[in-house]
Amino acid sequence: MIVPEAVLRDAAIALPPGYELRTFRAGDEDEFVSLLKSAGFDYWTRDTLSAALQKALPEGIFIAVHAPTGALAATAMATHNPAEHHPFGGELGWVAGRPDDRGHGLGAIVSTAVIRRFAQAGYSRVYLKTDDFRLPAIRTYLKLGLLPFINAHDMESRWRAVCEKLSWPFTPERWPRVPFAPPPGNPAQAPEPSVEPQPAPVNNERRHPVLDRTRKIIEDGGTVRMILYGDSISEVGRTPGWFGGASCLANNYGQQLAAMLREGYPQAAFEAINFGVGGQNTYEGLGRIDYLAPLKPDLVLLEFGPNDAGFHFLIPEETQLALKTLVEWIRWRHSCDVVVVGMGGNNPLAATPACDPTIAVQRRVAEELHVPFADLRTAVLAATDNGRRWADFHMDADNCHPTDRGHRVWAEAMFAVIQQNLRSS
């Protein structure tokens, strides 16, 4: 959703009796995390809060306090979080309320306080992300004047369903949107990707042949265009001297994997194309899907996760939805093969708490959509002796970026998965 300029300019606050408004301060940490958990953000911890504090605007975390008891009743956060469709953008996020304080409009109050803080800081682009099922929150945002943002083919139908449930006018012609390429064939007849989890087919039945396009290109002696679609570990060429943590392009996992595939399948050629942007989580990566077409992909390796678990935190359900959409739309638009790359993660001796839940939903998406899953976490833990030799394969003991040796481990793990699936397809 987008905060219109008029709302940025005219946002006003009226506190109900018995409540006060202030910003986050030292000593709030444990109660703040409990407040987020009570609102359904079960994966919040002190580490999650520490990561959020690094992105929040100064005096940008607002808290409604129950004055008689001093209890934290509601909160919302202003973070500097540019994204593909929101350059220089600020994100209104982590809106949460204590169940005991519902009915006082506190969600609207803390959200308005965040909007006013963005306006004070000079932001002209403010957005928020939410889930289809958070109907009370969506009603609050709509009443505040926020507008749905149409940035994908399924977005209108999803908003139609939400508006029907809320008895809210469905007026997509008035909502901001971005251009995106039509799906192949007749757009009016093309099915939209489901936003609800679908049960896996029984009897190991597959909806799509696994790596079928890659296998056919190999049999024909052609060239497989392999796209490394991910974050900073897949990023090469955007920042001088940066090769995903490797010392040079040839040692990045994509080039090492291409070399292994050329050796294993000498009748064909393999081209590795880096399509990574440092710092992006899976949702931000989803915002680049329209830029994939010029690369003419045959095989896409979806490598996200470290930022979801920390730097640009997403709750696992958000990662799952974004990753599922990526897999479905890449296969639909390009009729190409996809491999879900489970993240290597951080040193288990000092890992972020969200690491394991993020990997779990990555695996779940691969299983539901019947695409190969590269279990890098298992490979990396084996190579590093469960973290005791982490610095031998990464830039330092607390870093998720692999060095040349680490990229070799990545490439070997992906090669094994691709080879196994080519044999069974």
Range of the structural domain that residue 51 is part of: 5-174
Structure confidence at residue 193 as a pLDDT band (50, 70, 90):
very low
The predicted-structure confidence for 340-353, as pLDDT tens digits, reads as follows 999 999 999 876 67
Q: How far apart are CA 349 and CA 351, in angstroms?
A: 6
Q: Which residue has the tokens 């990023």?
A: 235
What does each C-alpha distance from 279 to 266, 306, 312, 376 come to in angstroms?
Answer: 36, 9, 7, 19
For 348, the token pair is 């288990």
Same domain, 398 and 283: yes
State the CATH number of the domain containing residue 149: 3.40.630.30
Give a yes or no: residue 183 inside a domain: no
Q: How confident is the model at residue 48 (pLDDT cuts 50, 70, 90)?
A: confident
Sign of CA dihedral 288, 293, 294, 299: positive
Comparing 133 with 35, the larger pLDDT belongs to 35
Quick check: helix, strand or coil at residue 165?
A: helix
**pLDDT score of 353:** 75
- Of 284, 278, 274, 275, nearest in space to 231 by CA: 278
pLDDT, tens only, 261-280: 999 999 999 999 999 999 99
pTM of the model: 0.55
User: Does residue 216 sit in the same domain as residue 170?
Assistant: no
What the block records as the tokens of 93 is 């996020």
Query: What's the pLDDT band for 54 if we cut at 50, 70, 90?
Result: confident
Q: What is the pLDDT of residue 204?
A: 33
Instruction: Count how many domains the chain has.
Output: 2
Q: Which amino acid is at 273?
A: I
| pLDDT of residue 52 exceeding 90 | no
Residue 220 lies in a domain: yes
What proportion of the chain, given as a percentage, has pLDDT over 70? Answer: 92
Q: pLDDT at residue 200 above 50?
A: no
The domain that holds 341 is classified in CATH as 3.40.50.1110
Give the number of other Cβ atoms within 10 Å of residue 415's Cβ.
20
Who wins on pLDDT, 147 or 189? 147
